[in-house]
Amino acid sequence: MFAASPSNAQTVGPSGEAATPSADVTLSDADIAALTGKGYKAALLWHTSSDFTNAVSAGAKDEFTRAGVEVAVTTDAGFDAARQRSDIETALAAKPNVILALPLDPVTSAEAFRQAVTDGTKLVFLSNVPSGYKQGTDYASIVTDDLFQMGKQAADALAKGIGGKGKVGYIFHDASYYVTNQRDQAFKSTIEKDYPDIKIVAEQGISDPARAEELASAMLLQNPDLDGIYVTWAEPADGVLSALRANGNTKTKIVTLDLAEPVALDMVKGGSVTALVADKAYELGRAMAAAGLKSLLGQPTPAFVVAPALTVTKENVSDGWKQSLNRDAPQSVLDAAK
């Protein structure tokens, strides 16, 4: 059986499940031998297309290839729950033995994946789970980032960037979304618990990344002496960066989550961005595939699996990009980091 690791105890699953490190979910040589040559097929049903999903796919495909499992279907729902339902129907026509997917809407997904459950297809979910689904009966595992560690590392990086003391702003995701909510709260609780000389003096929720510059400008108008700002993920962080530049502000440091070229470019040029915290997306995919295949073999699988977080700075940007996304950093970032 899988034991929850104490080091990961602060990241919990959508229903409070204890976390198992992704490194504990592996296929043995005997497992590979048992899977090879059986004609098993897999389907990857993603919510969108991005560097992140490409890296998750690469990790999954490499693990499936190792076991001789064909990836018969790969889809991109474009963040459309209705389109995802259609994708599931398309995939089921190929009769996959394992499906890896991020369910877009818990209620719609519950109905959409029901036929796969009835067919006996092994389901492994990325980050979300359909409403009412039971682990071990309806699906094998949920796999996601070590969400607490991502928020904690962001707090540690911002504290380091501002010298361990000062005033900071906190721009969080103002929506009920399990992944970002846990990461945001971990940042806040780490600052409050571990850094008595740092005060969060301004808080602002954001639901539309396009409004980030406007909201950050208002925050800076009221708090012109901010030493740092935490931003919930990279896209709105780019808007916050624009607000700092428009104000001629070179003092306030930014920390955000996930890798993106505009914020990374600012970071390696010694700008306002002091660090980026990322997940190991390739490892997420590998662990998802391994969990699905273990379930196919009738082996127990952990309810909730987390892949490690890493802090990316100017110094390790090349290696960090590869560890996270299994690809080289954008050429503009590599050139600027020289």
| pLDDT, tens digit, 9 for 90 and up, residues 195-208 | 999 999 999 999 99
Helix, strand, coil percentages, rounded to 5, for the chain: 45, 20, 35
pLDDT digits (tens, 9 = 90+) for 114-128: 999 999 999 999 998
Q: How many residues does this entry show for the chain?
A: 338
Q: Is the pLDDT of residue 7 over 70?
A: no
What pLDDT was estimated at residue 5?
38
Angle at 298 between CA 142 and CA 45, to 5 degrees: 40
Fill in the DSSP letter of residue 175. Answer: S
pLDDT digits (tens, 9 = 90+) for 254-275: 999 999 999 999 999 999 999 9
Full set of structural domains in the chain with CATH: 6-144+281-307 (3.40.50.2300), 147-279+312-337 (3.40.50.2300)
**In the beta sheet, which residues pair with residue 288?**
none
Residues 27 and 194: their CA atoms lie apart, in Å, by 38
Residues 258 and 202: their CA atoms lie apart, in Å, by 22
pLDDT digits (tens, 9 = 90+) for 36-67: 999 999 999 999 888 889 999 999 999 999 99
Q: Is the pLDDT of residue 316 over 90?
A: yes
Q: Give the residue ranges of DSSP H helices in 211-280.
A: 212-222, 234-246, 261-268
Angle at 140 between CA 55 and CA 1, to 5 degrees: 105
What pLDDT was estimated at residue 338?
87
Tell me the whole-structure pTM to 2 decimals: 0.88
Q: Is the pLDDT of residue 248 over 80?
A: yes
